[in-house]
Structure 1
Amino acid sequence: MIAKRLIVWAVLALMACVFMAGLAQQQAIQQAKVTMADIDNALTKGPVFIEFETAECGYCRQQRPITQQLEAEYAGKATFFYVDAVENRGLAKAFMVTGVPQMDVIAKKADGKYTYIDRNGAPSDSISASRFMGLTQKDALKKALDAAIQARK
């Protein structure tokens, strides 16, 4: 009888730990809402890197540390935004998000239009041609960020 109770308590404790770990992981990826005004304001200071993600996305959780490394390397040179595509549906729609993770590098805004940087480091006014979809390696993103910084000079 005592053994059964111990087993029940052990199972309940294990379930509670798993539940709490899931909550902690989900909370770690949550962030504040981002607006177009936030992006436009940041563009007055330098390039902007936007990462669209969701809490449930496994590839997003793998992408986040890569992006955070870049954020540390480009501190003071570019602004990084992490956007939950579910919570920020309007912004996700504006940036034509069809899957996550999606990263966009914006060099500047002129005449009401964004200048994006594509995989080859070339400027583009087409978000669909310049977005980074899926798990993306650091070097590809670094190339775009370097080009965005150069495009502002």
Structure 2
Amino acid sequence: MKLEVLVITLFALSVLLAGCVSDVTPVDTEYDANERDAVLVTERQQIDDALVNGPVLLKIGAEWCPPCTQLDPVLDELARDYEGRATVMYIDSELTPGLAGQFSVYSIPDTTVIAGIEDGNYLFMRRDGVTDTSRNKARVIGYVDKSVLEPILDHAIEYHSNMTE
């Protein structure tokens, strides 16, 4: 009887812990999370101010979330690559849950590109290059490679430059 309980307990534990392993390889093993190129957002006005100069790539996540922290080096690299053309920002949902809640986050990391503001509403860039006021149609959930976010940013930069001409 004790052996059965032990076997069942070990099996249950192995099933529970199986989800704790990530198959995503970090972009840079020498990455220092304290030296970020992406901008930490604590107030919505920071996003609005950045949109004056170009689109904003916004990630919402938390430090305790492995896919969120694995995405950080990708975002910092994008921040360097797109400097002067777009701003890469992030919201820590643990530090500012109210701000994260304004974006109706249900899973993290949750990333979108904001192309602009129209009638007080954010215009989100979808993967197909179309803007939409619905963030649900434009969000990217989970860890993604830089190559997924670059085309969305490129569409948003083109949109922004057409709107400012």
TM-score, normalization by structure 2:
0.72
Stretches of structure 2 lacking an aligned partner (at least 5 in a row) = 1-30
1:34–1:81 CA contact under 8 A, matched in 2? no
Aligned AA for 1:90? G
Q: How does 1:114-125 map to 2 (within 5 A)?
A: 114-125=122-133
Task: State the secondary structure of the residue aligned to 1:87.
Answer: coil
Partner of 2:63: 55
Aligned AA for 1:118? R
Task: State the secondary structure of the residue aligned to 2:63.
Answer: coil
Task: State the secondary structure of the residue aligned to 2:60.
Answer: strand
Partner of 2:16: none
Q: How does 1:133-152 map to 2 (within 5 A)?
A: 133-152=141-160
Name the CA shift for 1:107/1:33 in 2 (closer, same or farther; >3 Å): closer
2:127–2:152 CA contact under 8 A, matched in 1? yes
1: CA distance, partners of 2:82 / 2:69 = 20
1: CA distance, partners of 2:106 / 2:74 = 21
What value does the CA root-mean-square deviation take over the aligned residues?
2.1
Q: What is the number of equivalent residue pairs in this alignment? A: 129
Name the CA shift for 1:32/1:117 in 2 (closer, same or farther; >3 Å): closer
TM-score, normalization by structure 1:
0.77
After superposition, give the CA deviation of every residue in 1:28-81 in whole Å (9 maximum; x if it has no partner): 499755211111111111101111111111111111111111111000111111
Answer yes or no: is 1:73 the counterpart of 2:90: no
After superposition, give the CA deviation of every residue in 1:78-122 in whole Å (9 maximum; x if it has no partner): 111121011111111111111111111000002101110112222
Aligned-residue sequence identity (percent) comes to 32
